[in-house]
Amino acid sequence: MSYAFPADLSDQVIARWQTFVARHDHPAPPLPPVDQLRYVLETAFFASFAREEGRHLQFVLCCAPASAVTREGTTDAVPIVPFQTPRRLTVDALRSLAPAVSPANAAILVRCPPGGDADACEITGVLHVGSNLARARSGKSIYHRAAPYALLIDVRDSGELHIYRGGIKLATLDSGSLQDQLAFSEIEFLPISDLLTRGGDAVRSRIVRYGREPEREASDFEWTALLNTVLSIVGGIQAHGHGGTLLLVAPGAAGALPVRTKFDVDERQSMLTDRFVAFLNARHAFIERRLAAGPSADVLVDIEATRLEDAMVLAEDALSDAADLVARLSAVDGALVVSSDLRVLGFGAEIVLDAARAVSAYEVTGHAQRPGAWPEVDSESFGMRHRSALRCVAVAHQTAAFVVSQDSAVSFFWKQDGRVLLKRGVTIANPNMAGV
């Protein structure tokens, strides 16, 4: 088995910077010269294995030729806490500074002067990126402020580096291998499109649409927002660190699930569904106002548009909080059961099936929608959560499962053409963002 290293990651970034990025809406921002790029990536890579008071380092580097960095698609400068005396970029410098710079809302600014060698790379300050970008990437919101328009290096764990050009991910190095990138994470979940559509249909009568936005665009947004809410629940389970299982079932199909639920929930109560509908209606009202005003309207002087936008943001925050509350229910031993119209049906659910019954499953690699002869996997090689989810999906109808391991890895189970398929290490980030 061959391993990939920062130099390989550098080559991939350079190749994609000049191809995919160059065809985007805006010219690519400056990329550090190859020697500087490799030095920065190597320094970040080795720093990822360092410890500060026994904890892993997590941090974001923003690499730019100067200390002034704008947001993508705007002329707005990202606020900065500048250092009077820059510090050379080293592992020790990152180990010292990283605990004070949260990747949830800030980035360490690294100046890579044009024409300079690797030794010229220096830390010049801390950028206040804002928390809503990280929240959006985790699926906690749809809308967000634009990312810094520069090379961003997100270090999430030992040897795990995610590389962005502004808001678009270009490459990932994790566990010694370069990861294949999805343009949008929703591609992972197209196999359950029908399950999600059934959920959307169940709440359609409560959603207010207006005439100016094309129906297809409104419908696509609603589907994506529904998927994002489901993934936000999975992300919440992941963030809480205890692991867990989410069973997603079509409306009306829960009665056939082979589960015994410790805590049943009154299906007439639809707290999460209500928040979801309120967000969609607030969003549609805002979009209608913007389209009515026309592209040349100044939203800053349109008081009604500002009011509607504020209402949309508040509704989205309420939806995010409700999804997090639901995710925490998975801390009770057993599965969390949610219908695809976002009704919580129960939690602490025990999957009651004959453990001795053999179940065939096939592991999908690459994109799930690409046809392929997926290899059969031994279900007994999995842990208890994975085996239970696999058996449940095998016998139930219109059901999918997300299993979060205690190491935060997410496995996705669904049934297609009579076969149980699974994919490990799925991306659960915001499906509305490119390559998160």
Residue 332 lies in a domain: yes
pLDDT of amino acid 151: 95
Distance between CA 416 and CA 80 in Å, rounded? 50
Give me the sheet containing 151-157, strands edge to edge. Answer: 80-88, 122-128, 106-111, 59-64, 151-157, 160-165, 168-174, 177-178
- Same-domain pairing of 174 and 214: no
- Same-domain pairing of 267 and 159: no
Distance between CA 129 and CA 106 in Å, rounded? 5
Q: Which of residues 141, 157, 178 is at a domain's end?
A: 178
Distance between CA 18 and CA 146 in Å, rounded? 21
Q: Are 192 and 248 in contact (CB under 8 A)?
A: yes
Distance between CA 96 and CA 402 in Å, rounded? 37
Q: What is the pLDDT along the chain (436 residues), one digit of tens a residue?
A: 589 999 999 999 999 886 764 444 567 889 999 999 999 999 999 999 998 777 889 999 999 999 899 998 888 899 999 999 999 999 999 999 999 999 999 999 999 999 888 999 999 999 999 887 777 776 677 767 788 999 999 999 999 999 999 888 888 998 899 876 554 566 778 889 999 999 999 999 999 999 899 999 999 999 999 999 999 999 999 988 889 999 999 998 888 888 898 998 886 778 999 999 999 999 999 999 989 887 666 655 678 888 998 999 899 999 999 999 999 999 999 999 999 999 999 999 998 876 556 678 888 876 655 556 788 887 777 788 888 898 899 889 899 999 999 888 899 999 988 889 999 888 777 665 555 5
Residue 220 lies in a domain: yes
Q: Are 91 and 42 in contact (CB under 8 A)?
A: no
Residue 47 lies in a domain: yes
In terms of residue numbers, what domain contains 70? 6-178
- Same-domain pairing of 193 and 172: no
Q: Which of residues 178, 204, 233 is at a domain's end?
A: 178
- Same-domain pairing of 158 and 213: no
Residue 1 lies in a domain: no
DSSP string of 76-104, one letter each residue: PBPPEEEEEEEEE--HHHHHHHGGGS-TT
Which class for 157: exposed (0-12), middle (13-18), buried (19 or more C-beta within 10 A)? middle
Q: Are 155 and 420 in contact (CB under 8 A)?
A: no
Distance between CA 349 and CA 245 in Å, rounded? 9
Residue 289 lies in a domain: yes
At residue 389, the 3 state secondary structure works out as: helix
- 284: domain CATH number is 3.40.1700.10
- Same-domain pairing of 149 and 213: no
Residue 287 lies in a domain: yes
Residue 380 lies in a domain: yes
- Same-domain pairing of 210 and 117: no
Q: Are 330 and 337 in contact (CB under 8 A)?
A: no
- Same-domain pairing of 212 and 240: yes
- Same-domain pairing of 174 and 194: no
Q: Which of residues 139, 160, 178 is at a domain's end?
A: 178
Q: How many structural domains compose the chain? A: 2
Distance between CA 412 and CA 425 in Å, rounded? 8
Question: Any long-range contacts for 213-220 (C-beta under 8 Å, 24+ apart)?
Answer: 213/284, 213/287, 213/288, 213/291, 218/284, 218/287
Q: Residue 35: how many CB atoms within 10 A of its CB?
A: 16
- Same-domain pairing of 208 and 134: no
- Same-domain pairing of 251 and 324: yes
Residue 88 lies in a domain: yes
- Same-domain pairing of 248 and 355: yes
- Same-domain pairing of 256 and 278: yes
Among residues 103, 108, 104, 102, which one has the least CA distance to residue 88? Answer: 108
